[in-house]
């Protein structure tokens, strides 16, 4: 299974993501410069965290027009896998592959912390190594991670079970007290209707190598490999 | 006179504002600052963005059309923002 990690000017989690899939999971991995428009050799595109194009105007607004993002859109439309992490999630909403938007955190702070998350979907290619309602811990690091969608879109997301990850307490209660950034319905990660595109604010790539202290994110990448093994 | 075919330069001011349904914590913080300064009657502070640019267009309708496209595709995100445009023809000096 071949991974491609997009690199925009200002990306800063691209190498972390590549380290996980190339070095920990031993998968062929290629960095994709933002001007590159040929993704035909890639199975899974990762849109990494960082500050693409300085996040000028709005987070992800300018990355949306890059050649690599246009190619990523076509890749997703063919039903292939696309994962957006943090800034990558913001880019995927700007490009319209995922609904809603990510706005300024409720309390205005840039939050760099570890949070508990409830895994609500476990049959997706992204999450099948997790168990239903698993509570996992992943780092977050963002200033604009407050998920917003209008009431109709939010209702549709919930009705179609597109919420994959929700901020919760260490014991799994989902509520205002366990909502770090004001996201509607405590949303931390969503997928599209088909499930092949996923976006999340937490950083699984920063919680995959045991040297970094915790490894709850590794299963997400292992899930992708497992889904490929099943498909073959 | 073929005035309509001569490209005209316009100066545009684009005001991008958060939709009323989107919380604006920065606006709330500024409002609280204004209250601390003694402007106790201040209410409803919302912070937006201001973009100005010049463009060439055949007429005002064309300029407006181009600007709508710019706003819909880049300058504003319709999921969270509204925009308003003010347009003025630049008189050649």
Q: Where do the DSSP E strands lie in chain A? A: 3-7, 29-33, 44-47, 81-85, 101-103, 111-119, 135-142, 146-148, 163-168, 187-191, 197-200
Could you read off the pLDDT of A21-70 as tens digits, one per residue?
999 999 999 999 999 999 999 999 999 999 999 999 999 999 999 999 99
Looking at the partner chain, which of A62, A150, A182 has a beta carbon nearest the beta carbon of B21? A150
What whole-number percentage of chain A has pLDDT above 70?
Answer: 99
Distance of residue B43 Cα from the nearest chain A Cα, in angstroms? 19
Q: Please check whether residue A143 touches B, CB under 8 A.
A: no
User: Which residue, A211, A190, A228, is CA-closest to A88?
Assistant: A190
Active site residue A205: yes
Among A13, A59, A86, A168, the active-site one is A86
Torsional sign, CA A183, A188, A194, A197:
positive
Work out the pLDDT band at B70, boundaries 50, 70, 90.
Answer: very high
User: Which residue, A212, A199, A37, A186, is CA-closest to A116?
Assistant: A186
Greatest alpha-carbon pair distance for chain B in Å reads 60
Distance of residue B4 Cα from the nearest chain A Cα, in angstroms? 33
Walk across the sheet containing B81-89 and list its strands: B49-57, B8-18, B81-89
Whether pLDDT at B5 is above 80: no
Instruction: Give me the pLDDT at residue A229, please.
Output: 79
Instruction: Give me the pLDDT at residue B65, please.
Output: 97
Whether pLDDT at B90 is above 90: yes
Whether pLDDT at A106 is above 80: yes
What whole-number distance in Å separates Cα of residue A114 and Cα of residue A99? Answer: 25
Q: Please check whether residue A94 touches B, CB under 8 A.
A: yes
Q: Using a CB-CB distance cutoff of 8 angstroms, which residues of chain B are in contact with residue A93?
A: 79
Instruction: Give me the pLDDT at residue B92, please.
Output: 78
Distance of residue B30 Cα from the nearest chain A Cα, in angstroms? 12
Contact between B55 and B66 (Cβ < 8 Å): yes
Closest chain A CA to residue B25: A106
Q: Please check whether residue A152 touches B, CB under 8 A.
A: no
> Within 13 Å, how many C-alpha atoms sit on residue B31's CB side?
12
- Contact: A101, B80; criterion CB under 8 Å: yes
What whole-number distance in Å separates Cα of residue A77 and Cα of residue A207? Answer: 29
What whole-number distance in Å separates Cα of residue A170 and Cα of residue A53? Answer: 35
Active site residue A203: yes
- Counting one residue from chain A and one from chain B, the pairs whose CB atoms sit within 8 A come to 39
Mean predicted confidence (pLDDT) in B31-52: 97
- Contact: A148, B80; criterion CB under 8 Å: yes
Whether pLDDT at A232 is above 80: no
Instruction: Give me the pLDDT at residue A228, please.
Output: 83
- Three-state secondary structure of chain B: CCHHHCCEEEEEEEEEEECCCCCCHHHHHHHHHHHHCCCCCCCCCCCCEEEEEEEEECCHHHHHHHHHHHHHHHHCCCCCEEEEEEEEECCCC
Work out the pLDDT band at B93, boundaries 50, 70, 90.
Answer: confident
| Angle A65-B80-B50 from CA coordinates, rounded to 5° | 75
Could you read off the pLDDT of B6-23 as tens digits, one per residue?
889 999 999 999 999 999
Active site residue A86: yes
Instruction: Give me the pLDDT at residue A93, please.
Output: 98
| Residues of B engaging A, defined by a Cβ cutoff of 8 Å | 18, 21-26, 29, 49, 74-75, 77, 79-80
Mean predicted confidence (pLDDT) in A219-223: 97
Q: Using a CB-CB distance cutoff of 8 angstroms, which residues of chain B are in contact with residue A108?
A: 25-26, 29
Instruction: Give me the pLDDT at residue A140, please.
Output: 98
Could you read off the pLDDT of A193-208 as tens digits, one per residue?
999 999 999 999 999 9
Mean predicted confidence (pLDDT) in B44-65: 96
What whole-number distance in Å separates Cα of residue B56 and Cα of residue A230? Answer: 56
Which one-letter DSSP state was computed for residue A89? H
- Contact: B23, A182; criterion CB under 8 Å: yes
Q: Structure tokens of B33?
A: 């600052």
Q: Using a CB-CB distance cutoff of 8 angstroms, which residues of chain B are in contact with residue A182?
A: 23, 25
Instruction: Give me the pLDDT at residue B91, please.
Output: 85
- Contact: B26, A108; criterion CB under 8 Å: yes
Closest chain A CA to residue B74: A61
Could you read off the pLDDT of A120-177 as tens digits, one per residue?
999 999 999 999 999 999 999 999 999 999 999 999 999 999 999 999 999 999 999 9
* Interface confidence (ipTM) of the complex: 0.83
Q: Structure tokens of A196?
A: 């092949």
Instruction: Give me the pLDDT at residue A223, please.
Output: 97
Q: What pTM, to 2 d.p., does this model score?
A: 0.92
């Amino acid at each position: 299974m071949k991974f491609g990690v997009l690199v925009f000017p200002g990306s800063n989690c691209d190498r972390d993501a590549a380290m996980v899939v190339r070095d920990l999971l031993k998968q062929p991995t290629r960095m994709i410069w933002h001007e590159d428009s040929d993704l035909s050799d890639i199975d899974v595109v990762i849109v990494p965290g960082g500050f693409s194009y300085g996040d000028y105007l709005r987070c992800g607004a300018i990355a949306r027009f890059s050649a690599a993002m246009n190619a990523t859109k076509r890749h997703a439309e063919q039903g292939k896998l696309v994962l957006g992490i943090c800034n990558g999630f913001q880019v995927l909403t700007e490009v319209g592959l995922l609904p809603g938007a990510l706005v300024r955190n409720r309390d205005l702070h840039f939050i760099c912390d570890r949070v508990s998350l409830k895994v609500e979907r476990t049959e997706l290619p992204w999450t099948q190594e997790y168990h239903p309602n698993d509570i996992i811990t992943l780092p977050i690091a963002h200033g604009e991670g407050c998920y917003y969608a209008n009431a109709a879109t939010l209702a549709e997301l919930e009705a179609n079970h597109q919420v994959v990850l929700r901020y919760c307490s260490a014991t799994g209660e989902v509520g205002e007290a366990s909502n770090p950034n004001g996201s509607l319905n405590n949303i931390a990660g969503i997928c599209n209707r088909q499930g092949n595109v996923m976006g999340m604010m937490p950083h699984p790539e920063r919680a995959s190598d045991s040297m970094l202290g915790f490894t709850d994110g590794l299963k997400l990448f292992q899930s992708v490999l497992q889904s490929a093994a099943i498909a073959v | 006179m073929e005035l309509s075919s001569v490209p005209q330069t316009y100066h545009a001011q684009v005001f991008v504002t958060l939709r009323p349904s989107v919380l604006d914590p920065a606006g709330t913080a500024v409002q609280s600052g204004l209250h601390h300064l003694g402007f106790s009657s201040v209410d409803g502070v919302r912070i937006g963005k201001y973009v100005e640019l010049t463009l060439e267009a055949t007429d005002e309708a064309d300029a407006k059309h181009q600007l709508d496209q710019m706003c819909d595709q880049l300058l504003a995100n319709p999921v969270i923002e509204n925009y308003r445009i003010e347009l003025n023809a630049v008189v050649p000096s």
